[in-house]
Amino acid sequence: MKWRTLLGWEVTLIVLVFAALFGGALLSPAFLTASNLTFLTANFSEVALIALSMTLIIIVAEIDLSVASTLGLSSAVLGALFAAGWPIPLAIVAALAVGALAGLFNGLLITRLGLPSLAVTIGTLALYRGLAYVVLGDKAIADFPAFYTNLGFGTLPGTPIPIPIALFFVLAVITVVVLHATAFGRSLYAIGANPVAARFAGLRVERVKLSLFVLSGLMSALAGVVYTFRFASARADNAVGLELGVIAAVLLGGVSIFGGKGSVVGAVAAVFLIGIINGALTIVDVSNEVLTVVTGLLLIGSVLVPNLLGHFRTYRERRRAKGDRVIQ
């Protein structure tokens, strides 16, 4: 039953994605062109990348609000090291390592000290953004070699698929396999649904959570590298406020904020849905305001509508049961 309703939501989302594509095509003939779709999907590559790790974190009933700040910090590190004359591959590795360290710090505070993740990551949201300013100040590093910026906004040779989105698809497939087909993945649901029972069942709850926060930091740093090359600009204030967008997409994807429920497919479909609606409205010059409202309504509706339907069903059944009794 639970699986059926869950699958139902994912199918609904995928149908909505195609409806949005169709709607976009009706709005403008330019919408379904390869170049527009490339531009449009590249636009949400950072949100998509971070959404993968955020899905896992929310499934174990935690949250990471520091992702956008980690993105900014890794972008600043990348830019500062490049400006200092480091070879770019080495600077990328350093930026990723900084992200993993940031995630490790979150994870240690949460699992070793037992602090709530919401409180810890509100703190590190401020701290990591501040460190980004310490590293780079208000400078913008922009003169990256064309080879690397091409990784950011170029496409796979011979296809219209943006390179960051191709990278995202590879990682998404890995995440799906790990989450749904390995013991580790299944254990995340157990931990999210009931951490006490999971601990009694022999799962190393703290270690699993720690590894997920490291992963979250690493993915945010990867998104930071992508962001830097896509805009050809390393800045401390890159992607301010992105965290709420990522969380909105994951929750719209049917992942429960209370943990234990949800799937990568749903989250990915939701990222695409929001991105495509965004793109479709932009191409016909509908301003940001409508998109903001649409995102909010979709998010609320995704939980409210199934709740109301369930309520209506039980109400009808109860009335029918009552009616039967009266006839007897």
Q: What residues line the site for other proteins (CB under 8 A)? A: 65, 109, 113-116, 118-120, 122-131, 133-134, 137-138, 241, 244, 247-248, 251, 256-258, 287-297, 299-300, 303-304, 307-308
User: Measured from the CB atom, is 103 or 162 closer to other proteins?
Assistant: 103
Closer by beta carbon to other proteins, 87 or else 137: 137
Token digits of residue 173: 């497939």
Closest alpha carbon to 205 in 216, 192, 218:
192
| Tokens encoding 86 | 């480091």
* Residue (of 285, 258, 287, 294) closest to 63 by Cα position: 258
- How near is the Cβ of 202 to other proteins at its closest, in Å? 26
With respect to other proteins, which residue has the nearer C-beta, 162 or 195?
A: 195
Q: Provide, rounded to whole angstroms, the least separation between the CB of residue 236 and other proteins.
A: 8
Q: Which of 221, 219, 231 is nearest to 78 (CA)?
A: 221
We find the least distance from the C-beta atom of residue 2 to other proteins, in angstroms, to be 17
Find the shortest distance in angstroms from Cβ 69 to other proteins.
Answer: 9
E strand or H helix at 281: helix 264-283
| 91 or 120: CB nearest other proteins | 120
Q: Is 114 left (phi over 0), alpha (psi -120 to 50) or beta?
A: left
Nearer to other proteins, 120 or 210 (CB): 120
Rounded to a whole number of angstroms, the minimum distance from the CB of residue 26 to other proteins is: 23
- Give phi and psi for 139, each to the nearest 5: -75, 155
User: What CA–CA distance (Å, rounded) separates 152 from 93?
Assistant: 16
